Amino acid sequence: MIEQWYLANIQILRQIWGLVEFDDSYFNWMRIKYFVLPSVYFQEYSDLLLVTPGLNIENFQDYHFYVDQNLSRRDGVAPPFVHENNGCNNLYDQGYARLSFHLKSFRATTDVVSGDNLFELAKAAYHFLGQG
């Protein structure tokens, strides 16, 4: 059931963003290759890497968000809550910056439309990146 939930979510993400890669064995991560950034950034796109809790999809504290390093805003303000090279970023060597974006809840259902889904998480990350 959970595998089908992930596959249905990946299909939705691919319809919106095109190239989406994922861990098809344990569903521990998925990556949107051309994630459109808010217009406050000079860069138009970034990878959005979402590290998931795998088969324990409702463990909302184990979703972690990463984007490309060296994003720069048009207003010159450092992107808020984006950690590049510090103790909060375990994927620095892979070129990612970690978003300090934490879910307060996540309620997945077998029907990806009526429950929370990965599209909603990606959309929330977009809005988080645009604040500041």
Residue pLDDT, tens place only, 15-53: 999 999 999 999 999 999 999 999 999 999 999 999 999
- What pLDDT does 39 receive? 96
pLDDT at 106: 83
pLDDT, position 132: 65
What pLDDT is recorded for position 121? 93
Can you give the pLDDT at residue 1?
77
Write down the pLDDT at residue 126: 96
What parts of the chain have a pLDDT lower than 50? none
Please give the pLDDT value at position 78: 82
Cβ proximity of 26 and 51 under 8 Å: no
Residue 23 burial (CB < 10 Å; 0-12/13-18/19+)? middle
Residue 69 confidence (pLDDT) = 94
